[in-house]
Amino acid sequence: MQKQNRAVWAEKNIVYLIDQTKLPFKEEIFISDNYKKTCEAIVTMITRGAGSIGATAGFAMMQASYEAPKENYNNFLLEAKKEIEATRPTAQDLFSAVKRVYNKALNSFEEAEKEAQKIADETSEAGRKIGIIGNELIEDGFSILTHCNAGPLAIVDYGSALAPIIEAHKNGKKVFVYVDETRPRNQGAKLTAWELEKAGVPHTIIADNVVGLLMQQGKIDMVITGADRIAKNGDTANKIGTLEKAILAKEFNIPFYIAAPMSTFDDNILEGKDIPIEERSEDEVLYISGEDAEGIIRKIRIASPNSGAYNPAFDVTPVKYITGFITPDAVLSFD
């Protein structure tokens, strides 16, 4: 049974995930009984989004503790830790969660389990607080642009970028959301729109290259995105395409906010240029999946048969383009 409305949860050594690769067409739960299977779920983006990746990685480390043989316990844990950390190299929440659970796992599975559950709970609570704080920035009648997906699916529960928007809607404010499709995996069109529909928030899906026109026409009042890693100076790695939205927002004098829990901030990375950028399979660009008229999900090629593709998963937005950071405690600025 799903724990509340969470995107990821665990019962003892079993991890449950909403399968985000099946949305919005099917709502299915992916079940993993071992850490390698959970790692694969992270790599294949069955679960995704900074907070959900972190919580899932913490649960994977917990599972490794459960599976580790007594005669080779510490070595098994260390190798599992390296394997889990290699799944998504840009996501700071992953490294933070794995480190915390690993340190507890050195003592016992029970301590690892408690710490992993604590991380999931903390992430959920962070999203709730981000919603309350971010709501104060949203005026009645605002039209807001989002990029990629940073709602409940991405942050265990509540979300980061969507949390203030949903909170504003619950408080009676009239808000409208422009959801960019977010190529190549279309997380905006597939996931963010699905979440907003469930929350009853008015929205429309737009192609990624419509944003400049809408800003030029004065139809966007604010931009809120999530983040995968924030450097010590405020430079922020997020889904590919975030940088161009930030530059456009600066040009048209539109506030651009990053919403993120404190676990996404990485003081060990001084500047954005030092953030590792994950590169994913070219197939994500060359193929697209969707539901046909018969209700069957199909994958089809949309590019020239002999063409390749370059597919970085993230870009880095310099802090000079960011108005502020909506965190669980306050709106921060690096001015």
Residues annotated catalytic, as ranges:
228
Structure tokens at 51: 């907070």
| Chain centroid, CA 31 distance in Å | 20
Structure tokens at 299: 């994958």
In whole angstroms, give the CA distance from residue 309 to residue 21: 21
> 164: how many CB neighbours lie within 10 A of its CB?
26
Are 225 and 259 contacting, i.e. CB atoms less than 8 angstroms apart? yes
Do β-strands 297-301 and 314-317 pair in parallel, antiparallel, or remain unpaired? Answer: unpaired
> Distance of CA 69 to CAs 50, 72, 75, 76, 77, Å?
31, 6, 10, 8, 10
Are 315 and 228 contacting, i.e. CB atoms less than 8 angstroms apart? no
Structure tokens at 307: 């063409």
Taking Cα atoms as reference points, which of 242, 155, 142 lies closest to residue 201? 142
